[in-house]
Structure 1
Amino acid sequence: MKSKMLKQDIMKAIHELSQFGQDECGGMTRLLYDEAWVKAQNHMKKMMEEGGLDTSYDAVGNLFGRLEGTAHKDQTILIGSHIDTVKNGGMYDGQFGIVAGLIAASYLKRNFGQPLRNIEIVSISEEEGSRFPLAFWGTKNLLGLVGREEVLNVYDENGVAFAEAMHQAGFDFRPEDEPLRQDILAFLEIHIEQGCVLEKERKPLGIVSNIVGQRRFSVELTGESNHAGTTPMGYRRDAVHAATEMISNILNRGQSYGDPLVVTVGKIDVKPNVVNVVPGQLEFSIDTRHPDKKMLEDFTKEIHQLVEETAEKHGLKFCLDMWMDTDPVPMDEGLTQIIEAECVLNGVDFLKMNSGAGHDAQLMANHVPTALIFVPSHRGISHSPHEHTDGRDLALGVHTLIKTLYQLAYKEETGIVESIA
């Protein structure tokens, strides 16, 4: 397929989808079960049908477009990503992966007919957690990892109950007695990098080896509020003074570990937050990530020690709450080797890399062989109206997906199946 034509098809589809959720700030806001989300899924359904795929929704709103196999109807190659966005996000995050799968499957059908194994595109209902305080709702339902009890008391910022929003959109909870799918042979996700590594390294494609583990903490410090003019420095129990020392030490320690460990303090809340009062309370967040579980565990032990020692030094009470703990997830070696081989065969320069962000692929990888492909993000910008990926890079990603799907779905050789079994 000519690169120019492929680029045109991709951009046309992305711009069509992007009309659903355009916001007044120049970005996209398409949240789970809202009006824009419903329209986008229904438009995606229409696009799938025009591409020659049979379509269906599951109970919670995951949309599937299926190209039926002729020989191995119990084996499905699943490709997709999420249709929802963050608030005021960009037009490539998530939906590019769905468009890429659709264009690849449609191209293969036009040129090679029906595959031996099923090819199925999934437009995943939710990944971002932007409307309700939960994430990966779509993939968790696909894998049977979540139920109605998880969201019975969950509301959005406008007080709309999760179940009410879902029912208004025309969907319902997954039946508890519904059997889980056993036909998914492999899952592929293609996504913008959401970072600057590929652009900095001048590589047009990334093949992910691991998705990093994440630990997130809330640190609460309690000292004593007092008069800013009459309380000598030596007598203070100043929460800000202690917090600045903690944060500086944590960030410096993280820097000493070197890449690929990252640590971020992104949120700070001070009380009483008044100019002439010594602050007696403070809460700050810590987000740390690493592709090696042992390194992540070692670093978080150091975080706890630094917080404890500094709080004691300043005479403060502290509470350190780890509210997220996800392990690193490796991608399937056999599947990534197939992608690498296609890149080498077709002269595609690629980088083996880690993913510093979470993706639907990290949940799928614990259940079926999974691979994640990246295309570059200009200046690493994502979750922003300024999110951009060059059309040539998008086209190269889809071209690689086409070649990979052909190997997985159209070839009879058992070695391919065995490599990802």
Structure 2
Amino acid sequence: MNDFEVHTSSGTKRPTHPLPQLEQVELKGMLDWLSAYGADAQGGVTRLLYDQAWCKAQHALAEKMQEKGLAPEFDQSGNLYGTLHGRGMGSGTGMEEAPIVTGSHIDTVVHGGKYDGAYGVVAGVLALEYLQKHFGAPKRTLEVVSLCEEEGSRFPFAYWGSRSITGVSGLEDVQHLKDQEGITFAQAIRDAGFGPNSSYRTASHTYGAFIELHIEQGQILERLGHSIGIVSDIVGQKRFSITVSGEANHAGTTPMSWRKDALAGAAEMITAVRNIALEAGEPLVATVGRITADPGVGNVVASRAVFSLDIRHIRQESIDRCWHNMLQEFSRIAAEQQLGLNWEEHLSVTPIPMNDQITSDIRDICEVEQLSYIHMPSGAGHDSQIFQPACPTAMIFVPSHDGISHNPLEYTAEEDLMKGFRVLVQLLYKYGYGS
């Protein structure tokens, strides 16, 4: 659904009212406050879906939303909404239009940074507080969502928050999944106080539009000297677990040529991943970020090896061709070394273009605010690619210092954070308060 209509006076690029005292917003302070939930000794943040740090952070955010004048509400998945109710102005039917929603996710990778996801959530809360304080109730309901999960760091399933909201996935699709400690998704959601037996409403929710403010997690904006990235489209992804099966045997008495070494076979396959990706050329990327071996003993030939595989590109046909070539090579290696080969696909997301009208409005705001901007694709996956098929969606990027992300050194200067915040506030003002 790409048509997007808001009742605004779109003939002017300037908001009806100036935005006073915007520089006084305590954006960095609230980011620092949120980063304390899950702070680790390495200086990073670890908040995994439904773990203790995650639960404390999400409930603390609910209290913060209430303090800021928003109406907080959880759903059964653990997504948290803070609503600034509109005055009920519908589209001639007497019914309230679906809300304009901003936000992002609060879960992190292990030892991650404090800006990824959290920036969009904090900025959304403070944007709605600011608008209510200076302009009162909007004509159209505005909402911020703190999505429960995006990263896929605890369970081998990403975008659970946005997938559950849009109806793309339900608990039946994920309840059997296990984390590295053997805890099932069904147990984790229940222990966190959510799930179908909780008192919260179902996750299904209709948005009029979704706008995600996010750090770039790359070097393009900083290297090219731009303040704002207007996302044109988001890469597609495939994620797999590849299992290689061999035969455990004595490391000293088993000749090399007689071995069925699962770890050696996996190593050759991983090398093939890199070679095939390099041959395909940019912007295709392929990553093996995790590998485990059984029995995991130094003097025993490995009987089993499991490695992850992540493939990304802005064109679906390139992703599919790369995976086909890799699977052919994996099969050849397994056959030559007398190994078993199995694979499981955990994620398949097609490349998604962002909404033309909203991105055009973002561009207009940047020009009025005299902010340097570029249109650019996102090489990282985001919840916006899940929302776009369900509602008009757009993303706004701000620079990441040295392009570092998923790392305690992740950093964006306060000045850059505020520039992105200004764009978000202007956009929400246009859609929520426009005549």
What TM bracket, shorter-length normalisation? 0.7 to 0.9
1:15-64 CA-to-partner distances (Å, cap 9, x unmatched) read: 22222222333322333334433332333223323333233233333222
Q: 1:230 to 1:249 in 2, by over 3 A?
A: same
Report what 1:5 is aligned to: 23
Q: Which residue is 1:419 aligned to? A: none
Aligned partners of 1:390 and 1:232: how far apart in 2?
A: 57
Partner of residue 387, structure 1: 410
What is the match of residue 66 of structure 2? 49
1:23 corresponds, among 40, 43, 47, to: 40
Matched residues in 2 for 1:230 and 1:168: separation?
A: 48
Displacement of 1:91: 1.4
Partner of 1:74, secondary structure, is coil
Distance 1:302 1:374 in 2: 33
Q: 2:133 aligns with which of 106, 110, 130?
A: 110
Superposed, which structure 2 residues align to 1:295-310 within 5 Å?
295-310=318-333
Compute the displacement of 1:198 (Å).
2.2
- Evaluate the alpha carbon distance shift between residue 43 and residue 188 of structure 1 in structure 2; reply closer, same or farther with a 3 A threshold: same
Q: Which residue of 2 aligns with 1:285?
A: 308
Separation of aligned partners in 2, 1:131 and 1:228: 34
Q: Tell me how far 1:226 sits from its aligned partner.
A: 6.9
- Equivalent residue, structure 1, for 2:79: 62
Aligned partners of 2:176 and 2:186 also within 8 Å: no
Deviation at 1:368, TM superposition (A): 0.6
CA distance in 2, matches of 1:281, 1:64: 44
Seen in structure 2, the aligned counterparts of structure 1 residues 2 and 335 have a Cα distance that, compared at 3 Å, is: same
Matches of 1:154 and 1:379 in 2, distance apart? Answer: 35
**Distance 1:272-1:388 versus aligned 2 partners, 3 A rule:** same
Residue type matched to 1:112 in 2? F
The answer for the alignment partner of 1:129 in structure 2 is: 152
Structure 1 spans left out of the alignment, 5+ residues = 413-421
Q: 1:333: Cα distance to partner?
A: 1.7
Q: Which residue of 2 aligns with 1:418?
A: none
Deviation of residue 399 (structure 1)?
0.5
Judged with a 3 Å threshold, the aligned counterparts in structure 2 of structure 1 residues 278 and 191 are, in CA distance, closer, same or farther, namely same
Identical aligned residues as a percent: 43
The answer to whether the 8 A contact 1:238-1:279 is kept is: yes
Per-residue deviation, 1:80: 0.8
Contact 2:77/2:203, CA 8 A, preserved across alignment: no
Q: Which residue of 2 aligns with 1:265?
A: 288
Q: CA offset at residue 393 of structure 1?
A: 0.9
Alignment partner, residue 74 of structure 1: 97
Is the Cα contact below 8 Å between 2:236 and 2:316 reproduced in 1?
yes
Q: TM-score, normalised by structure 1?
A: 0.84
The runs of 5 or more residues in structure 2 that have no matched partner are 1-18, 91-95
In structure 1, distance between residues paired with 2:247 and 2:110: 37
**What is the DSSP-based 3-state SS (H/G/I as helix, E as strand, rest coil) of the residue aligned with 2:141?**
strand
Bigger mean CA offset, 219-228 vs 298-307: 219-228
**RMSD between aligned residues:** 3.3
Aligned residue-pair number:
410
Question: Structure 1 counterpart of 2:41, which letter?
Answer: E
Contact 2:74–2:201 under 8 Å retained in 1: no
Cα distance, 1:117 vs. partner?
A: 1.3
Q: Deviations over 1:96-146 (max 9, x none)?
A: 111111222222223333222111111122223344444333323322344
Question: 2:362 and 2:229 mapped to 1: Cα distance?
Answer: 10
- Give the alignment's TM-score, normalised by structure 2: 0.81
